[in-house]
Structure 1
Amino acid sequence: MPNGWSTKPLADIVKEKISYGIVQAGPHVPDGIPYIKSSDVRGTINPNALQRTSQEIHFKYRRSSVHPGDIVFSLRGNIGESAIVPACLPEANLTQGTARISVSVEHSNLFHYYQLASEKILNRVNALSKGSTFKEISLEELRKVKVLCAPLPEQKQIAQILSTWDRAITTTEHLLANSQQQKKALMQQLLTGKKRLLDKNGVRFSGEWKVSKLSTLFERVTTKNNGQSTNVVTMSGQHGLIRQEDFFKKTVASETLDGYFLLRQGQFAYNKSYSNGYPMGAIKRLNRYPDGVVTTLYICFELSDSDRSDSDFWEHYFESGLLNKGLSQIAHEGGRAHGLLNVKPSDFFSLKVPVPSFEEQQKIATVLSSADQEISALQQKLDALKQEKKALMQQLLTGKRRVLV
């Protein structure tokens, strides 16, 4: 135990008894009192997203009303998530799945917010949670959870340091979201010809784009593996074609891989399974590895002529979702067996797409790839900041590293 520090149960650091709120909030009342559900607690609280209950129900449960600075803690669902009630919520309440922790004046609410978000406390909370299909922690158990307490000036200093990291993380998250939105808008403009770039002579590209079937641009790949590769890859919307062991932390393919398709680097695969952000399935290019083994449920293909078609351009085109309208027209009714769209290869390759000149394809791909690099750099910065904050929390919140007050 660090010199001057102590350990106390949560029940001993609050000015009011830790409690949960409204059992039945009733229908949404537009001009009513906002209330916080467990699903609203995600590190922060968005006041604009809150449901509202009537004045009568709020008055009935006034003992559980929360005020700016109170810590809100999720008891079920996303167990252990916490947030501080923002100043813009002078009057609000809770639901039964959420607890109010109102820290006494002898303690820093921000310090204990970080304590509750620490790995040690979250592990303890999960261990105390009961239930098989629907886990939750009781108020009784939550009140017993022990937290480390530094002297108040040290609590405030630690909270200030960690909040600096939080501000940097929030700023980077906003920059990342803006870059992603800008790239999305850029894709919609450049890949449809609404916005034209300049050619190598500084003259804006002009002229109508040719409309072609996918079958004239691509050839289907049906090469069976037959022992050539053991690199089983799966498709992720966020990560693209990635090794199964890296994505699932285990191999879920069958032991015999001979019947699988063999995909070479630079070739594409269409996963007919719909997922978040990909309502008509995703098309990804194999970028990470020289080869990969994929399920025969994927439609695999490659460029027919790389001197007339730019692979990077088509990777951006498939990622843009511009093919979704055509896919929705060829996905047959009742075909969503096991989450798969019923899209036949012949129908897939009959889809028509607008095709700019090779030079314009290259220019568009360069601009969009540059946007991708900016997004990747921001994502790396964000990941680094989160790791640095996590390391700081482990040191500062345990007293292993002391601060100057």
Structure 2
Amino acid sequence: MVPDGWSAQSVGEFCEFFNGNGFKASEWSTQGWPIIRIQNLNGSSDFNYFNGEVKDRWVVEPGDILFAWAGTKGVSFGAKRWSGPRGVLNQHIFRVEPKMKVNPDWLYFALIRVTECVENKAHGFKATLLHVQKSDIAEQVIPVPPLLEQNRIARILSTWDEAIATTEQLLANSEQQKKALMQQLLTGKKRLPGFEGEWFSAKMGDVFRRVTTKNDGQSANVVTISGKQGLIRQQEFFKKSIASEFLDGYFLIKKGQFAYNKSYSKGYPMGAVKRLNRYPEAVVTTLYICFEIADEKMASGDYLEHYFEAGFLNHGLSKVANEGGRAHGLLNVKPADFFSLSVSLPNLDEQKAIAKVIASAEKEVQELEKDLSLLQKQKKALMQQLLTGKRRVKVDEAERATA
């Protein structure tokens, strides 16, 4: 039901869509107009350029509303506000212009709702990778408020966008500071007060012992490795289990122990060494190398968790993987080679102090991530209420007088 004073209109009634141009690789240049592609809508500043004759309908100005009609659901598909330089539009993206007097900020928020509607109707192959026609967007019917209400709605939602952008910047700064701290403290370039003396290099096999305990029906908690999430249940990561029906041949690991997937496809990230933190116990396939601290008087698990997260083992991993056997495009790290790699360690007290400082920085990042997630959820709920008229805004007399 349309709220009082509002109208139900199709997007095509009050918007025009101008398609981008299919710039061929042979037309690319190193200077001229930046070509705005899908990847640039996702934040990439890597542009190809066009140095030929440009048609007006291709031109995109900062602040223009764009709609990617081919892309990945929830990532690259749908309405975007262009914040980059003046450029020319590539194919698979519409530039959106209102036909009548509407608030452009309200229009952008309304098109985000349209994006969700189109995505929700997708099924089968199109459920993730979307490729729609202009009519799929233009025929969407939405409730349209009077201009004064559009203005008010846009101001409210823009305030949330500003808060989200500020929090995103704070999060990016915090992540960068944590990264810099790890690079300095985990290499000894920066020492904490009260610590001195030489660091030492030790073989992984001297610091850790391998864990090869078979599951034997003790656990059905199958985890997978994620660069961002660490060791996480398959149901949480993949939204389903991809494990074998019988888990008795899997390795059983316990909280505080480490795991690394020794086999991965060439061209994909190498993954990461991760510590089991979420659960008391879990099982992983035999493709994993599992291990634990051999002597807690020599090494701190907290320190080494950060050491691995910072990627200091990756160079050695890459070397032994490329020197190892290859089959059908797979690279494989042999356990013997894995445990022959070296790690750099200060004395145990300094390890623990370093881990404590990094954990504090990590906590700040996590708090900002929570703040950002909350703001995004609140904005989404507010959009649902304001853009459907379930929650009406008040337009004061001063606004009416200046309209």
TM-score by length of 1: 0.88
Q: Which runs of 5 or more structure 2 residues have no equivalent in the other structure?
A: 396-403
Identity %, equivalent residues: 50
Aligned CA distance change for structure 1 residues 153 and 277 (closer, same or farther; 3 Å) = farther
Q: What displacement does 1:23 show?
A: 2.8
Aligned CA distance change for structure 1 residues 301 and 128 (closer, same or farther; 3 Å) = closer
1:35 to 2:35 alignment: yes
1:347-358 alignment to 2 at 5 Å?
347-358=337-348
Q: What displacement does 1:49 show?
A: 4.2
CA-atom RMSD, angstroms? Answer: 2.6
Deviates more, 1:320-329 or 1:368-377: 320-329
Whether the 8 Å CA contact 1:37–1:94 is kept in 2: the answer is yes
Whether the 8 Å CA contact 1:125–1:142 is kept in 2: the answer is no
- In structure 1, what is the Cα distance between the partners aligned to 2:105 and 2:131? 24
- In structure 2, what is the Cα distance between the partners aligned to 1:348 and 1:212? 13
Other-structure match for 1:346: 336
SS at match of 2:28: coil
Other-structure match for 2:118: 124
Q: Which of the numbers 289, 298, 306 marks the counterpart of 2:296?
A: 306
Other-structure match for 2:184: 189
- In structure 2, what is the Cα distance between the partners aligned to 1:335 and 1:404? 69
Other-structure match for 2:64: 70
1:82 to 2:79 alignment: yes
Aligned CA distance change for structure 1 residues 84 and 212 (closer, same or farther; 3 Å) = closer
Cα displacement string for residues 327-366 of structure 1 (whole angstroms, at most 9, x for unaligned residues): 2222244745477532111111111222210100011000
- In structure 2, what is the Cα distance between the partners aligned to 1:403 and 1:212? 65
Other-structure match for 2:19: 20
How many pairs are equivalent? Answer: 389
SS at match of 1:282: coil
Q: What displacement does 1:211 show?
A: 1.5
Q: What displacement does 1:178 show?
A: 1.3
Q: What displacement does 1:53 show?
A: 1.6
- In structure 2, what is the Cα distance between the partners aligned to 1:148 and 1:96? 29
Deviates more, 1:276-285 or 1:238-247: 276-285
Whether the 8 Å CA contact 1:280–1:341 is kept in 2: the answer is no
Whether the 8 Å CA contact 2:65–2:82 is kept in 1: the answer is yes
Q: What displacement does 1:128 show?
A: 7.4
Q: What displacement does 1:33 show?
A: 2.4
Other-structure match for 1:245: 235
1:212-251 alignment to 2 at 5 Å?
212-251=202-241
Give, as a single letter, the amino acid of the residue that structure 1 aligns with 2:134.
L
Give, as a single letter, the amino acid of the residue that structure 1 aligns with 2:23.
Q
1:386 to 2:376 alignment: yes
Give, as a single letter, the amino acid of the residue that structure 2 aligns with 1:285.
R
Q: What displacement does 1:274 show?
A: 5.2
Whether the 8 Å CA contact 1:10–1:147 is kept in 2: the answer is yes
- In structure 2, what is the Cα distance between the partners aligned to 1:300 and 1:131? 37
Q: What displacement does 1:234 show?
A: 1.1
- In structure 2, what is the Cα distance between the partners aligned to 1:8 and 1:125? 20
- In structure 2, what is the Cα distance between the partners aligned to 1:234 and 1:129? 27
Deviates more, 1:211-220 or 1:124-133: 124-133
Q: What displacement does 1:105 show?
A: 5.0
- In structure 2, what is the Cα distance between the partners aligned to 1:346 and 1:291? 25
- In structure 1, what is the Cα distance between the partners aligned to 2:360 and 2:265? 26
Cα displacement string for residues 59-106 of structure 1 (whole angstroms, at most 9, x for unaligned residues): xx32343445532111112464222345x75x5332231112111452
Cα displacement string for residues 135-174 of structure 1 (whole angstroms, at most 9, x for unaligned residues): 4222244332223210101111111111111111111111
Q: Which of the numbers 107, 132, 135 marks the counterpart of 1:137?
A: 132
Aligned CA distance change for structure 1 residues 36 and 148 (closer, same or farther; 3 Å) = farther
Other-structure match for 1:10: 11
- In structure 2, what is the Cα distance between the partners aligned to 1:250 and 1:69? 40
Cα displacement string for residues 183-236 of structure 1 (whole angstroms, at most 9, x for unaligned residues): 1111111111111112xxxx3x11111211111111100000111111111111
Q: Which of the numbers 221, 227, 246 marks the counterpart of 1:256?
A: 246
Aligned CA distance change for structure 1 residues 181 and 141 (closer, same or farther; 3 Å) = same
1:197-216 alignment to 2 at 5 Å?
197-198=192-193, 203=194, 205-216=195-206
Whether the 8 Å CA contact 2:78–2:115 is kept in 1: the answer is no
